Chains A and B, each alone.
Chain A
């Protein structure tokens, strides 16, 4: 394990312990009140739903271009994390919408595109699990498709009419709300790096196990 792993784990844990305290202390937003506090976990996980497909997509391009197994491991780990943070986004969003909009879900561009991206990465993982030998190349193509879908998710609220708030909300946050948001976001990014590193390590160890099995077979034959 890398030397930075343990200090980063400690720092991330401390941040995730402090984040709820800061979120409780942050003032209410004027029109939505208490329910707006979902924002501090919903938006960081949504931003990771936007960033993680790029990690998967770029690693997939690298894998298809050079057949580097390390790139494939990064792509797989990033796809799993896209599904994780996508699930958090898609579960916390409707809980917020129920109070703010009066409905759990609307089939508007932003929400539908986010769901579609999440489903692409679920399909990626199913392909990796059940696709058999060679599925990693097909999955890499799916990872690139997922990455190509992301700009539409991000800009949907700005381009099409939708109930979802626009991307200008975050840059224009009042400072008293903004620092709590950026604190939570930093915690989520560090958590992402830790989980990605751990997941890549699992796959690297698996590859080593496979190599040793082959070596053992060769020595007995």
Chain B
């Protein structure tokens, strides 16, 4: 019984102690900033994601993909035409 009372007292103390922290966490967003934070003074343009790397990456990807496919088709055509020439010779030379 004494043990139960001690446990309940501990729980009550923990909940009571946690309440101010919970209240602080639920503070509305328009509260003044915490001490130690420094207000930004740079212009807002510096915070934005730069567009140039994204545009360059997009165009580079498109060019590389197209050139890779052109090279692949060229290689396939070269291989099959080589094979065709060899076969033409064989069929021409057969008895």
Q: Which residues of A contact B (CB under 8 A)?
A: 20, 33-35, 37-38, 41-42, 45, 80, 84, 87-88, 91-92, 95-96, 98-99, 191, 195, 198-199, 201-202, 205-206, 208-209, 212-213, 215-216, 219-220
Contact = CB atoms under 8 A, between A and B. Distances in A.
A91 B94 contact: no
B9 interface: no
Contact of A205 (B70, B77, B94): B77
Interface string B70-90: 100110110011011001101
A151 to B, nearest CB: 25
A34 B73 contact: no
Nearest to A219: B94
Interface of B: 49, 51-52, 54-55, 57-59, 61-62, 65-66, 69-70, 73-74, 76-77, 80-81, 83-84, 87-88, 90-91, 94
B interface: dominant SS:
helix
B55 A37 contact: yes
Contact of A95 (B58, B70, B81, B88): B58
Given A98-B54, A202-B77, A206-B80, 20 more contacts: A37-B55, A38-B58, A41-B59, A84-B66, A88-B61, A88-B66, A91-B58, A91-B65, A92-B58, A95-B54, A95-B57, A99-B49, A99-B51, A99-B54, A195-B69, A201-B77, A205-B77, A209-B80, A209-B87, A219-B91
Contact of A202 (B57, B58, B70, B73): B73
B58 A195 contact: no
Nearest to A98: B54
B43 to A, nearest CB: 15
| Max chain A C-beta neighbours (<10 A), residue from B49, B57, B80, B84 | B80
A199 B84 CA distance: 16
A216 B91 CA distance: 6
| Max chain B C-beta neighbours (<10 A), residue from A20, A33, A98, A209 | A209
Contacts of A220: 94
B49 A205 contact: no
Contact of B55 (A38, A201, A205): A38
Contact of A34 (B51, B83, B94): B51
